[in-house]
């Protein structure tokens, strides 16, 4: 007998917000014009400065994660930061689109936010040693946003 495979359930913006609030109780977010906005502070390690992460997501679109404060380009002092969709304000490239790492059924609280913390950890390492040790892929074509 074959069991029907369970189809993953897509998470709506309200559910995503609820997951985020439950996981990161000190942070804030809201829904506006069918879009989710989430803001939280992050220190990848106890030595790190405080970074503010902004996540924006409208259903049917690609979630965007920014770090505005502090300005990462200023910290990089003119060097081009790897794994960004755009340098200013810094929009982080956190997963390989289309390979299932993030899909609409996966909560941001377990994917994009921890990935952003990891990204910042590797960013600090890159600032110190000039090399990116977080792995990843570079697109062959210019990235479409």
Partner 1 sequence: MQPSQNTISLERKRFLAGHLELACKELELPESKWEAAKTAYESVGAWLNECPVLRPYKPAIRPQGSSAHGTTTKPVGRDEFDIDLVCHLLVADDRLPHDGVKKIVGDRLKAYSRGPKCSEYKRCWRLDYAKDSQMHLDITPAVNHTTSRFKSLAVPDRDAKRWQESNPFGYTELFCKIAALTPRLAQQVIELSAKAARAGVQPLPDQTSIKGYLRRTVQLLKRHRSLYFEKHPELAPISIILSTLAKRSYARIVDSQRLYDNEFDIVCDIVRGLADFVSHGPAGWLIKNSTTESENFAEKWNKNPALADAFYRWHRQAVHDFQALADAADTINSYAIFDRIVGQKVASVVRARETTLVNEARAHGALGVTTRGMLTTAAGISVAGNTYYGA
Residues that bind partner 1 (CB under 8 A): 23-26, 40-49, 53, 80, 82-85, 93-97, 99, 101-102, 106, 109-111, 113-119, 121-122, 124-125, 127-129, 132-139, 143
Cβ(16)–Cβ(29) under 8 Å? no
- Give least dist CB 84 to partner 1, A: 6
Cβ(68)–Cβ(47) under 8 Å? no
**Residue (34 or 143) nearer to partner 1, CB:** 143
- Give least dist CB 125 to partner 1, A: 5
Give the H or E element holding residue 43: none
Residue 75's nearest CA partner among 91, 99, 108, 51 is: 51
**Residue (33 or 99) nearer to partner 1, CB:** 99
Give the H or E element holding residue 55: strand 51-58
**Residue (34 or 136) nearer to partner 1, CB:** 136
């Amino acid at each position: 007998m074959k069991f029907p495979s369970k189809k993953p359930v897509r998470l709506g913006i309200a559910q995503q917000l609820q997951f985020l609030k439950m996981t990161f109780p000190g942070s804030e977010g809201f829904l506006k014009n069918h879009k989710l906005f989430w803001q939280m502070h992050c220190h990848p390690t106890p030595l790190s400065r405080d970074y503010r992460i902004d996540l924006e997501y409208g259903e049917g679109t690609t979630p965007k994660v920014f770090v505005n404060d502090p300005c990462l380009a200023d910290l990089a002092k003119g060097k081009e930061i790897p794994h960004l969709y755009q340098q200013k304000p810094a929009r982080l490239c956190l997963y390989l689109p289309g390979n299932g790492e993030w899909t609409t059924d996966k909560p941001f609280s377990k994917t994009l936010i921890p990935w952003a913390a990891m990204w910042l950890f590797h960013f600090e390492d890159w600032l110190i040693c000039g090399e990116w040790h977080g792995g990843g892929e570079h697109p062959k074509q210019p990235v479409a946003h």
